[in-house]
Amino acid sequence: MTRRLGEMTTAQAAAAVAAGPVVLVPAGAFEQHGPGLPLATDTIRAERVAERVADALAGPAVIGPSVPVGVSPHHMAFAGTVTLTTTTFAAVVREYADSLHRHGWRKILVITGHGGNGAALTTVAQDLLTTHPDLQFAWTPLTALAADVIAGMGVAQVHGHSGEAETAQMLAVAPHLVDRERLTAGTTRLAELDALGAVSRRSGGPKLTVRYDRLSANGVLGDPRRATPEDGEALVDAIVARIADFVTEWLEA
């Protein structure tokens, strides 16, 4: 039987509550990813990872509806970007959760390919503790789960959005959507951030949210030309394994 809730009949969905007590909800964004990656990169990666996690679990998880547009105001200087406000995004996720809860699901895991969704997802999780105390709501990023793999990839001093790791993942899960001839390095050194007038984004300090056109002229952090499909598979494998391990422990708790 399909693991995708959207491909089930209502009768199959009712049965899936018992057979698949965890709903995986892919969430992404519709935003610029530099000259060589598609606007839906974050959604595509989240959906592919959700599929692989469901396959790895072999039964106890179903894949719910995706949230294809995320919180991306910081990318609006680049053509094609579409954004939701934090309020709208949080409302959409909360109402997804409420609907699934009404049908009997009590464990929901949002798999987000877009870091900009994190703050809103944390807010949703806090709110649901009050409004739905019997619902366990979790969320996970993708790339951050495989920091150890990235450390071995030889990434630039500055790396991240549309850089080596994201491009490698896309080469692994949707290579036909990567325009390799247009992959171009963006901001790769902290000195370049200073030259652009951006406050250093070193970890551990105060958090300042800025537009991406202040961080990189082409919207890229890092050098995506260094990415390989092999690195992408290693990243995706690590991400999938770690999410699957979490769900397995969650079900046993």
Kindly write down the DSSP assignment for every residue of 39-105, as one continuous string. TTHHHHHHHHHHHHHHHHHTSSEEE---B-----GGGTTSTT-B---HHHHHHHHHHHHHHHHHTT-
Closest to 104 (Cα-Cα) out of 4, 191, 14, 32: 14
pTM value surpassing 0.85? yes
Contact 212, 75 (CB under 8 A): yes
Kindly write down the DSSP assignment for every residue of 156-185, as one continuous string. -SS--TTSHHHHHHHHHH-GGG--GGG---
Contact 64, 95 (CB under 8 A): no
Per-residue pLDDT, 192: 85
pLDDT tens digits for range 139-173: 999 999 999 999 999 999 999 999 999 999 999 99
User: Going from the N-terminus, what domains does the chain have, and what CATH number goes with each?
Assistant: 5-247 (3.40.50.10310)
Contact 25, 111 (CB under 8 A): yes
pLDDT tens digits for range 36-69: 999 999 999 999 999 999 999 999 999 999 999 9
d(CA 164, CA 251): 34
pLDDT tens digits for range 219-240: 999 999 999 999 999 999 999 9
Per-residue pLDDT, 193: 79
d(CA 146, CA 112): 14
Q: For residue 88, what are its two tokens?
A: 């709208």
Per-residue DSSP letter, 33: B
Q: Which residues pair with 22 in a beta bridge?
A: 61, 107
d(CA 52, CA 44): 12
